[in-house]
Amino acid sequence: MTAVDAKSLIAGDLAERRRERLQHFRPAWLLAAAIPLVGLLATGARDDLWAQPAWILALQAFVWGLALFALPALGLGLWFPGRAARIALGLVAAVVAVLVAAGPALFDMSYPTGMEDHPIYQIGCASLTLAAGALVLAICAVSGAFVQRRRSAGALWLAAAIALVGIVTTTWHCVITGLDHTLPSHLGAGVLMLLLAGLVGAALHRRQRGP
């Protein structure tokens, strides 16, 4: 009897909210995507960027995709894969982060290191990882990205994206490939960024949405 179809009206409302959310975060996303680009232009990309093995280049491209598209879409509530897909995505992100940060030296200790390691390079790479991540973290905080999901666990997807941006930016900058250098200053700094971004995101979520 009724001409009102609540189901389609609500579905339309949810689609409209999603469009609004996409529109709201587009400038922030463009800015966040520009940060590693500007960072690489300012500090310079590694000389052997295109000389790396194809598989590591493919993995790095995959990590860029995760960091700039898949994980932010999850964290912002724009994409809703099932539980199994979310678990798989989380595991894949962790594994590729280690692979990309450590590079070919993980499987081939004789892989050319390009340059001898030095503590100053470690500090430089860790700083670049943290700086790139911190800038993206600031954009996420200012734009309200951390409070889009109802549960604070949603903030972890964004924290993972932020950490990956830091890791892969440094990986594309740094020519040193020895594990003594990459594990602490690339991967270690990335993990630190993940923890920092996770804590900031969870705190912002708690403050704005309550426990």
Partner 1 sequence: MTGPAGAPGRGPSPGRSAPPGLHLLMEGYLDGDARAFAALHAALLPRLTAFLVHLVRDSAAADDLVQATWLKAHLARSRFQVQGASPDGAVQAWYFTIARNLAVDHLRAQVRERRRRDPGEPDGGERDRLAEIPSDLPTAEELEIGEAEAQEIASRVRDALAQLPAGQREIVELHKFQGLSMAEIAARLRIREGAVRVRAHRAYKALARWLTPSLRALLLLLARGGA
Could you give the string, one character per residue 16-35, with x where binding to partner 1 holds by CB under 8 A and - elsewhere?
xxx--x--------------
Distance CA 168, CA 101 (A): 7
Q: Which residue lies nearer to partner 1 by CB, 19 or 118?
A: 19
Instruction: Return the residue matching tokens 């949603």.
Output: 154
Binding residue (CB under 8 A) for partner 1 from 154, 166, 190, 198: 154
- Of 100, 94, 122, 116, nearest to 53 by C-alpha is 100
Site membership for partner 1, residue 2 (CB under 8 A) = yes
Q: Which residue lies nearer to partner 1 by CB, 10 or 123?
A: 10
Distance CA 22, CA 30 (A): 12
- Of 155, 165, 166, 135, nearest to 205 by C-alpha is 155
Number of residues that bind partner 1 (CB under 8 A): 25
Q: Which residue lies nearer to partner 1 by CB, 86 or 114?
A: 86
Distance CA 65, CA 60 (A): 9
Q: Which residue lies nearer to partner 1 by CB, 130 or 160?
A: 160
Distance CA 36, CA 173 (A): 10
- Select the span of 54-62, 75-83, 110-118, 178-186 touching partner 1 (CB under 8 A): 75-83
- Select the span of 7-15, 35-43, 62-70, 112-120 touching partner 1 (CB under 8 A): 7-15
Write out the two tokens for 197. 């971004």
Min dist. Cβ of residue 17 to partner 1 (A): 6
Positions 119 through 148 that interact with partner 1 (CB under 8 A) = 148
- Of 183, 190, 201, nearest to 168 by C-alpha is 190
Q: Which residue lies nearer to partner 1 by CB, 6 or 42?
A: 6
In the chain, the N- to C-terminal Cα span, in Å, equals 43
Binding residue (CB under 8 A) for partner 1 from 26, 27, 57, 150: 150
Write out the two tokens for 152. 């604070």
Footprint of partner 1 (CB under 8 A): 1-2, 4-7, 9-18, 21, 77, 80, 83, 148-151, 154
